[in-house]
A = this chain, B = another copy of it.
Amino acid sequence: MFMNYNAGQGELKNWIVEETAFDSAFQGKCEVVMSQGNGYMGARSATEEKYVGQVRNLFVAGTYNKFDADEVTELPNSADMSAIEIFIDGRRFHLETGEVSNYSRRLNVKNGELIREFTWTNTEGKSFEMRFRRFFSQANLHLMAFDVQVKALNSDAKIEIRSGVDAQLSNSGAQHFHEGEKRIYDKRFIELLQHTTESKVDFVFLTSHRYLVDGQETEIDPGLQMDRRKVWLNIHHDLKAGETFGTEKVGVVHTSRDKQFDVEGYELQALRDHALTNLKNNADRSFDELLEESAAEWDKRWAGMSIQIGGSDFDQLAIRFAQYQLNIFTPMHDSRFGIGAKGLSGEGYKGHSFWDTEVFMLPFFIYTMPEVARSLLEYRFKTLDGARKKAKDNGYIGAQFPWESALTGEEVTPVWGAVDIITGKSTKIWSGFIEQHITCDITYALWQYYQITGDQKFMDDMGYEIMFDTATFWTSRLEWLEDRDMWGICNVIGPDEYKEHIDNNAFTNYMAVENIKLAIRYYEDLETSNPKLLAKLSDKLNLIEARKMWLERVDNIYLPQPREEDKVIPQDDTYLQKEIIDLTKYKEQPFVGGLFQDYNLEQVNEMQVSKQADIMVLFLQQEDKFDLETKLANWNYYEPKTLHDSSLSLSTHSVLASDVGNPELSYDLFQQAASIDIGQNMKSSDHGIHAASIGGMWQCVVYGFGGVRMLGGNLRINPNLPKEWDSLNFPIYWKGERLEVTVDQEQVRIERPEFNGQALNIEVAGEPRVIDSTEVTFNV
């Protein structure tokens, strides 16, 4: 048990994730779980000193680059400033030599600070108290800071610290940067200027150090060093017994992708000057001062989004951890960028945005930070041209969003994946070609956003355009099913990615029909509410023609229905006819993907085995379209055949379990989902944070246990508190107004702190209610 959840005391109770021992075999875990960032950039928390197996990553949102013509664009692994190597009496300090005691590494999710401390005794018997701290600033998105303190406990020692900027890193071998230009100004300000190879983004990395002896700033004349892609200082100090030597390091990163520089007439020198000014303005400030400034921003965030769970310390910490992550990996500052499927915490999925954003993470933002939700939807709007290109390239019309999306909305899903154990070749990844439901997922999500926030301006500026053009895509995508005399959607991958090239995936068909229906409905709306806008959109999107096709086809699209005998909805045209195999072995394995050590995808495709929720996600999205009996029947049929090999699966099942009135199961699945990253499995997070699962945790709490849902434009709050919890308190924003919901085993209280006299009609605990004061309580 390396992970401890009780390290936070007093004010910090349930705010601290702690690692209690160091093991180089498990570095990936806390590199990711304790990753830091601010949406502008994010980094794995690899230790200052190096170990085999470590992955050092720094990603700056939106700075995609393509290494090679036949590869896809990805977030480049940027130069590392977090490596701070310590040499004691000429020997490299690391924890695999000597003795370590009192080890603790703690991520404070309240203020974003990471602290690592321990006592280390080298093989000569010299003991040192060491403390490492770091954070990425929420107040200055370009800034990160580090603090290294070494106290000699029992003897003098020569200490050397090597610290600077190291750009020898790559993305698993793919190098995205030119060599660049190195410079040390005034023996203090280290600069590395680099450019990405294909996207031509300029990066300025700058860092400076302050030196402290027993807390007093001191001057040191460091050795200056340069190597390929690397520039650093050798900092020497003769440490006396009892003395503490501290090095505080500030790093800043600015790029030509930054909004203010990504403009006509941009000049590199202006970027360099701007970056150097930022560094110089902060170089003489202490770590604590900079941290405080950042922590104040975190306080504001928490005031807006805080969730209180009574009765379970772990769950309280887990939901805070999830919200911490949602805050550090989301590029809230810039609507040109989406969220990566691994946030900014690893190379996994290359920093690309998937349906994970709209279906798993967006709900948190819609209900809690609507301006961020808007920014994320705006990102999709800004990629419409890429989506139109994709539709056109595939012979369709309208807008077809890419399965994986980067900066332009063009398809960036890689084509080759893991080994096929039968052929010995790389397996072809079909998602970029035929996993198409993303397009209706986005429209459904923006409709949710619209209904919950009432943001008409967004709809006028962006929402309708996406809605109409995706509907057009879907109608052009339909194929005529001769056998059924209906339209269908053939040759797709649904949410369950273990089924490729299938016809009429239930999720896809239902969601596509919804997409078209929304377009029809809002077209009609606009005819009366805003004919001018409609005319404009009609011009641009050729809506007269398009609408004709929507109307012609929408009512004759095949939607798989529950079978008469058992209410099971066929996941696709052939799933239910496939072979059923014993999955016990794979369900028991503590890792995912074990099936592929025995079968290749072609074989798996012919079995009733699912990677993840499929029909279940449909139930979650269109909750009011299916009755309880159908939901239960399908749960009982599909869940045993589902390996949950995708981290997207558990939270969906948890919310569904709440929906079907099984809070125990729901709670169990929530805890499993919560454990994916911060649990005791030390190998589960190596490739990066499970961003969708993190978003799903919020859904488990607020959708599942809180029972919140927007259905048909109306708010519903039907709590299903698990017996393990005494109470649950969370904020949601409804039509721009903050509501605070407090649930316990007997009651639900709705507070309207900004109550303006206007009554609010919502469903609470199964009944329509009127909330017409600052606080109303109902029995559940």
Residues of A participating in the B interface, judged by any CB pair closer than 8 Å: 24-25, 50-53, 67-68, 70-71, 91-92, 94, 96-97, 167-175, 177-179, 181-187, 197, 223-231, 418-419, 421, 424-426, 597
Query: Residues of B contacting A97 with CB < 8 Å?
Result: 96
State the CA gap A175–B170 with chains docked (Å): 9
By beta carbon, the residue of chain B nearest A168 is B173
CB distance from A364 to the nearest CB of B (A): 32
Asked if A172 and B228 sit within 8 Å, CB to CB, the answer is: yes
Q: Are B172 and A419 in contact (CB under 8 A)?
A: no
Residue in A91, A183, A186 with the greatest tally of chain B CB atoms within 10 Å:
A183
Q: Could you say which of B24, B53, B175 contacts A175, with CB atoms under 8 Å apart? A: B175
Interface hub of A53, A70, A224, A424 (most chain B Cβ within 10 A): A424
Which of A97, A168, A174 has most chain B Cβ within 10 Å? A174
Known: A53-B92, A168-B172, A173-B168. Contact between A184 and B419, CB under 8 A?
A: yes
Known: A170-B175, A419-B226. A183 touches B231 (CB 8 A): no
A224 CB to closest chain B CB (Å) equals 5
Q: Which of B174, B187, B424 contacts A179 (CB 8 A)?
A: B174
Answer whether A229 and B172 are a contact pair too, CB < 8 Å, given A25-B92, A426-B182: yes
**Which single member of B174, B179, B223, B227 contacts A228 (CB below 8 Å)?**
B174
State in angstroms the CA–CA spacing of A745 and B25 once bound together.
61
CA distance A173 to B231 in the complex (A): 14
B178 touches A175 (CB 8 A): no
| Contact among B175, B197, B597 for A223, CB-based, below 8 A | B597
Which residue from chain B places its CB closest to the CB of A23 in the assembled complex?
A: B91
Residues of B within 8 A of A182 (CB): 419, 425-426
Known: A68-B178, A187-B421, A224-B419; 19 extra A-B contacts, CB below 8 A, are: A24-B92, A25-B91, A51-B52, A67-B179, A70-B178, A70-B179, A71-B179, A96-B97, A167-B173, A168-B172, A171-B228, A172-B229, A172-B230, A174-B175, A174-B179, A175-B175, A184-B419, A224-B421, A231-B419
Q: Which residues of B contact A170 (CB under 8 A)?
A: 168, 170, 173, 175
A67: chain B residues within 8 A (beta carbon): 175, 179
11 A-B pairs within 8 Å (CB atoms) are namely A25-B91, A52-B94, A68-B197, A168-B172, A173-B175, A174-B179, A175-B175, A182-B419, A182-B426, A224-B419, A226-B419
Q: Which residue of chain B has its CB nearest to the CB of A50? A: B52
Partner of A96, one of B96, B169, B225, B226: B96
Assembled-state Cα–Cα distance A227/B179 (Å): 26
Most B Cβ at <10 Å: residue of A68, A173, A177, A225: A173
- B228–A173 contact, CB under 8 A? yes
Residues of B within 8 A of A231 (CB): 419
Smallest CB–CB gap between A97 and chain B, Å?
6
Measured in the bound complex, the distance between the Cα atoms of B185 and A183 in whole Å is 49
**For residue A168, which residues in chain B have a CB less than 8 angstroms away from its CB?**
170, 172-173
Contacts of A175 in B (CB 8 A): 67, 170, 173-175
Which listed residue (B68, B70, B169) contacts A173, Cβ 8 A?
Answer: B169
A229 contacts B173, C-beta separation under 8 Å = yes
Q: By the criterion CB–CB under 8 Å, are A424 and B172 in contact?
A: no
| List of B residues within 8 angstroms of A50 by Cβ | 52
Chain B hits for A70, CB < 8 A? 178-179
Query: Which residue of B169, B171, B183, B418 is within 8 Å of A226 (Cβ)?
Result: B418
Q: Which residue of B lies closest to A96 (CB)?
A: B96
CA distance A311 to B94 in the complex (A): 45
Interface centre among A168, A223, A226 (most CB of B within 10 A): A226
A51–B96 alpha-carbon span in the complex (Å): 11
* Residue among A167, A172, A225 with max Cβ neighbours from chain B (10 Å): A172
Give the CA-CA distance A96 to B68 in the complex, in Å. Answer: 38
Pairwise interchain contact A183-B52, C-beta atoms closer than 8 A: no
Knowing A71-B179, A174-B175, A179-B68, the reply to whether A186 touches B226 (Cβ < 8 A) is no
Nearest residue, chain B, Cβ from A79:
B173
Q: Which residues on B sit within 8 Å (CB–CB) of A171?
A: 228
Write the chain B residue with the least CB distance to A418.
B226
Q: How far is the CB of A592 from chain B (nearest CB, A)?
A: 15
* CA gap between A171 and B228 in the complex, in Å: 9
CA–CA, A138 to B297, complex, Å? 66
Which residues of B have CB within 8 Å of A94?
52
| A574→B224 CA distance, assembly (Å) | 30
Cα-based distance from A230 to B426 in the complex (angstroms): 11
Q: A168-B173, A228-B174 are in contact. Are A187 and B96 (CB under 8 A)?
A: no
A424 engages B92 (CB within 8 Å): no
| Contact residue among B96, B177, B186, B418 (Cβ-Cβ distance under 8 Å from A424) | B186
CA distance A50 to B67 in the complex (A): 27
Which chain B residue lies CB-closest to A175?
B175
Chain B residues near A96 (CB-CB < 8 A): 96-97
Q: How far is the CA of A168 from the CA of B173 in the complex (A)?
A: 4
Q: Which residue of B lies closest to A186 (CB)?
A: B424
Please name the 10 residue pairs, one residue from A and one from B, whose CB atoms are nearest each other, closest first: A168-B173, A184-B424, A175-B175, A226-B419, A172-B228, A96-B96, A173-B229, A50-B52, A224-B419, A224-B421
Q: In the complex, A182→B418 CA distance in Å?
A: 10
Q: How far is the CA of A223 from the CA of B167 in the complex (A)?
A: 34
Query: Quick one: which of B184, B187, B227, B597 contacts A172, CB cutoff 8 A?
Result: B227
Q: How far is the CA of A229 from the CA of B172 in the complex (A)?
A: 8
Bound together, the chains give a CA A167 to CA B170 distance in angstroms of 12
Inter-chain contacts of A179 with B (CB < 8 A): 67-68, 70-71, 174
**Which residue from chain B places its CB closest to the CB of A182 in the assembled complex?**
B426
By a CB distance below 8 angstroms, the chain B residues around A24 are 92
> Complex formed: what's the CA distance from A597 to B225 in Å?
9
Out of B173, B177, B424, name the residue touching A224 (CB < 8 Å).
B424
Per the bound structure, the CA–CA distance linking A105 and B197 in Å amounts to 43
* Cα(A597)–Cα(B224), bound, Å: 8
Q: For the complex, what is the distance from the CA of A294 to the CA of B149, rounded to whole Å?
A: 54
CA of A67 to CA of B24, assembled, Å:
33
A418 to chain B, nearest CB (A): 6
- Cα A187 to Cα B600 in complex, Å, equals 14
